[in-house]
Structures are given as structure tokens and as C-alpha cells.
């Protein structure tokens, strides 16, 4: 099945659907994916 994560951003941050979201620990990449529109 499809997996995902909820990422909370600072107020005022407005990424567009389709942009990449990459998670780092220092310079090490932990994972990532693409931003989707919020589900109702």
C-alpha cells in the first residue's frame, strides 16, 4: 500500500504540490518524497 508522512512547516511556508520534501540528519539524507495537496 501507499505510505506517507505528515510534515508540519513553519507558519507562512506554502510549498506547492509536486515539490520535493527531503529529510536530513545533518548532511545525511534520511528519506524524502513529493508534496501532495492536503486531503479533506
pTM over 0.75: no
What is the domain range of residue 17?
1-40
Identify the pLDDT of residue 18. 95
Identify the pLDDT of residue 1. 63
Sequence-separated (6 or more) residues with CB below 8 Å from residue 21: 7, 15, 32, 33, 34, 35
Identify the pLDDT of residue 14. 87
Specify the number of domains making up the chain.
Answer: 1
Identify the pLDDT of residue 6. 84
Listed as ranges, residues in the chain with pLDDT below 50 are none
Identify the pLDDT of residue 34. 93
Amino acid at each position: 500500500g501507499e505510505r506517507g508522512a505528515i510534515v508540519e512547516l513553519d507558519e507562512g511556508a506554502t510549498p506547492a504540490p509536486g515539490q520535493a520534501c527531503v529529510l536530513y540528519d545533518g548532511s545525511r539524507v534520511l528519506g524524502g518524497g513529493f508534496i501532495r495537496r492536503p486531503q479533506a
